[in-house]
Amino acid sequence: MTTTKEAGAAGDQATRGDLIDTLPQYFLPHHFLSGLMRAFTRINIPAVKNWQIETVVKKYQVDLSTAIEPNPLAYANFNRFFTRALRPDARPLATESGAIASPVDGRVSQAGPIREGRIFQAKGQEFSALELLGGSAERAKPFMNGQFATIYLSPRDYHRIHIPLDGTLTEMVHVPGRLFSVNPKTVRSVPRLFARNERVATLFDTPAGPMAVVMVGAIFVSGMETVWAGEVTPGPRSRVRSWNYGSANGESVSLRKGDELGRFNMGSTVVLLFPPGKTDWTTDLVQGKAVNMGQKIGRVR
């Protein structure tokens, strides 16, 4: 397939204006501001939470017709609205044999090959799988020269993450870091953005071999959680933390394709990694493409 890197979209390189607009983010107290947002989005006072919800629904044209609870004012607080569940029939799952399902609703930022461990971020910007996965060469090795896809979730999107293939969890890794915005302007401007922001990497054994589903935090993302561990962030930020799973330690987590994996409490980005020679993306999985959770985005060879 033609990769987004090879396509070289004209708007994919940072402009002088992008760099100037992004510069203040380097000096912001990212985690302090995100902590305030965490408290703000959990206010249960009706007048406050209703204003928050109505403002976002109007500004971002949020579609609630597919939600289990379509009344925006029925949610106890803004975070409950933001992490709302969808009706079971709202997102048809790609059930054909070998189909890889999109883990989220969002828009493709980039997709293509991992070249010698490097992942394309934007024109002139890239980062490494080694950095993304917390600095462990052993953890990153299966994905050398494999495939990646980066999907950005906007405020209007559904914010639960689902597993793209049947998988058995082998490891979860929390990597502390900054919380730059992940909007397109910042992605173009901040070097190694997805390997600098705080993130939670989940690693699975699947029919395609090892798979990584990486939840990347951003400014005002006040928490990332998984269905088996609950809220992972906010948490200690001084070092990389990891948890091993499997029969050896008595804790096993297996999910079927389409099962909920976790969620963002406020929105951000998911990065998928697969090993070499095991998967192909669909030919239309290109930069800017809108995808829905469950939609076929690739296949297992």
Same domain, 209 and 67: no
In a domain, 253, yes or no: yes
Catalytic residue among 109, 162, 181, 189: 162
In a domain, 245, yes or no: yes
Contact (CB, 8 A) for 106 and 74: no
pLDDT number for residue 179: 86
196-210 pLDDT, tens digit each:
999 999 999 999 999
Under 8 Å CB-to-CB from 215, ≥6 apart: which residues? 161, 199, 200, 201, 202, 224, 262, 264, 268, 270
What is the length of the chain? 301
Same domain, 258 and 238: yes
Same domain, 122 and 40: no
Same domain, 70 and 106: no
In a domain, 12, yes or no: no
Of 28, 53, 82, the residue that ends a domain is: 82
Closest by CA to 132, choosing from 240, 287, 34, is 240
Same domain, 215 and 110: yes
Binned at pLDDT 50, 70 and 90, residue 290 comes out as: very high
pLDDT number for residue 248: 64
Mean of per-residue pLDDT scores for the chain: 90
Please say if 268 is a catalytic residue: yes
**Using CA atoms, how far apart are residues 55 and 57, in angstroms rounded to an integer?**
6
40-95 pLDDT, tens digit each:
899 999 999 999 999 999 999 999 999 999 999 999 999 999 999 999 999 999 99
The stretch 165-185 carries a mean pLDDT of 92
- Output 1 or 35, whichever has higher pLDDT: 35
Contact (CB, 8 A) for 56 and 79: no
Domain that holds residue 57: 17-82
Of 48, 82, 116, the residue that ends a domain is: 82
**Using CA atoms, how far apart are residues 130 and 139, in angstroms rounded to an integer?**
8
Please say if 105 is a catalytic residue: yes
Task: Please state the φ and ψ torsions of residue 231, each to the nearest 5 degrees.
Answer: -75, 120
Binned at pLDDT 50, 70 and 90, residue 2 comes out as: very low
Same domain, 121 and 173: yes
Of 82, 103, 128, the residue that ends a domain is: 82
Same domain, 57 and 171: no
Same domain, 158 and 49: no
In a domain, 1, yes or no: no
Per the structure, the count of domains in the chain is: 2
Q: Residue 247 pLDDT > 70, yes or no? A: no
- Output 286 or 182, whichever has higher pLDDT: 286
pLDDT number for residue 249: 65
- Output 7 or 156, whichever has higher pLDDT: 156
Structure tokens at 187: 């992605």
The stretch 119-127 carries a mean pLDDT of 88
Same domain, 102 and 42: no
In a domain, 5, yes or no: no
Catalytic residue among 34, 102, 109, 268: 268
SS (H, E, C) 93-136: CCCCCCEEECCCCEEEEEEEECECCEEEEECCEEEEHHHHCCCC
The stretch 111-123 carries a mean pLDDT of 92
Catalytic residue among 105, 157, 159, 189: 105
pLDDT number for residue 53: 97
Please say if 97 is a catalytic residue: no
In a domain, 10, yes or no: no
Same domain, 164 and 210: yes
Same domain, 37 and 123: no
